[in-house]
Amino acid sequence: MYKITRGHVKKIRMRQCVKDIGKYSFLLTMVEKWNALCDEVVTAHNVHIFKEKLDKWRHGCSPAQILYYTTG
């Protein structure tokens, strides 16, 4: 098994866009935001926990704090 050091296990790869319509599309923007999330947020077990972890991540908590506050 190998350790992922850049990003998370559910990272999405996108092709490089040449035209402006692709470069500034909603899909590309959302993929960039998804790939920026930490592993603890992405691997949440259900939508409710995902939302809690996402809110904590957006407000600047570290991954260890996110994991601690949402388990239990």
User: Of residues 19 and 69, which shows the higher confidence score?
Assistant: 19
Domain residue ranges of the chain, discontinuous segments joined by +: 20-70
Residue that the structure tokens 């920026």 belong to: 36
Confidence of residue 46 (pLDDT cuts 50, 70, 90): very high
Predicted TM-score (pTM) of the model is 0.60
Share of the chain above pLDDT 90, in %: 12
39's CB contacts (< 8 A; 6+ apart) are: 4, 8, 9, 63
N-to-C CA span, the chain: 28
